Amino acid sequence: MSGLRPRRVFILGVPVDDVTEAEACAIAAQCVERGGVHQFATVNPEFIMTAQRLPEFKALLQRTELNVPDGVGVLWAARQCGSPLRERVAGVDLMTRLCAVAAERGWRVFLLGAQPGVADRAAELLVLRCPGLRVCGTFAGSPRPEHAEDIVARIRAADPHLLFVAYGAPAQDLWLGEHLPHLERPGHGMLGMGVGGAFDFIAGVQRRAPRWVQRLGLEWLYRLVRQPWRWRRQLALVRFAWLVLREREATMLRL
């Protein structure tokens, strides 16, 4: 990676990069122009907790090109570690901004994942928002291994520069880690990024928290109120906070 390599903070062994949304777009452009395949991840506390019990997920997050800090919990943890990160970069915001860059530069974009029809609707709305955007494919597909061959063939035929995958973590990120190497094309680079519920938000299937709620750092609470089944997943956040504080104490004792 060239001069744009940002500072990294390790939270419970998972690297998170100190980038702004604009810097993440500049690094994406470098990746596409350099050739080869590259992967970004949007790291939130749930990612970090999943990585504690799934070594292959932690290993993947240690070799991705860029891990953006997607969640106030990650910003809080970085402050506890004494290495504050400048801003939250939400996956859906980064995806939308990357589509604007793609429209400017003539890159093709592929949307993989979410429920049938959602990626198509998200693509239509992205084209309205980013005139000139070339969406070369959409497919709901599934992260199941038996579907991978067909999906890889579709993506290779469409030949995108940007591949957004919405299967939720860790499935989307592990899928990319396994299959991106088979998607390498001569002539241009490809960037793959797992985006969780981003297609649902862009398509309007799920509503995002209002800006003022996002600014207060309470988007997680808004999602919990709208999708109460998430409470079990969000219990991981309590354990996350506890582990971060325990690690901070251990570090202070060593100093």
Q: Name the residue nearer to ligand UDP (CB basis): 11 or 114.
A: 114
Query: Environment class of residue 253 by beta-carbon count within 10 Å: exposed (0-12), middle (13-18) or buried (19+)?
Result: exposed
Which one among 160, 177, 189, 197 touches ligand UDP, defined by CB under 6 A?
Answer: 197
Rule CB under 6 A: say whether 115 interacts with ligand UDP. Answer: yes
Give CA separation, 122 vs 52, 192, 201, in Å.
33, 17, 8
Annotate each residue in 156-185 with x if it binds ligand UDP (CB under 6 A) or - if it does not, as one string: ----------xxxx----------------
Examine residue 113 and tell whether it contacts ligand UDP (CB under 6 A). Answer: yes
Q: For residues 72 and 97, give the distance between their C-alpha atoms in angstroms, rounded to a whole number.
A: 20
Q: Enumerate the β-bridge partners of residue 185.
A: 188
Pick from 38, 5, 39, 1: which is nearest to 19 by CA?
Answer: 5
Which one of 71, 143, 170, 192 is in contact with ligand UDP (CB under 6 A)? Answer: 143
Span of 29-37, 93-101, 112-120, 213-221 interacting with ligand UDP by CB under 6 A: 112-120
Peptide bond into 228 cis (omega under 30): no
Contact window for ligand UDP (CB under 6 A) among 113-121, 127-135, 151-159, 210-218: 113-121
Binding stretches for ligand UDP (CB under 6 A) = 113-115, 142-143, 166-169, 196-197, 199-200
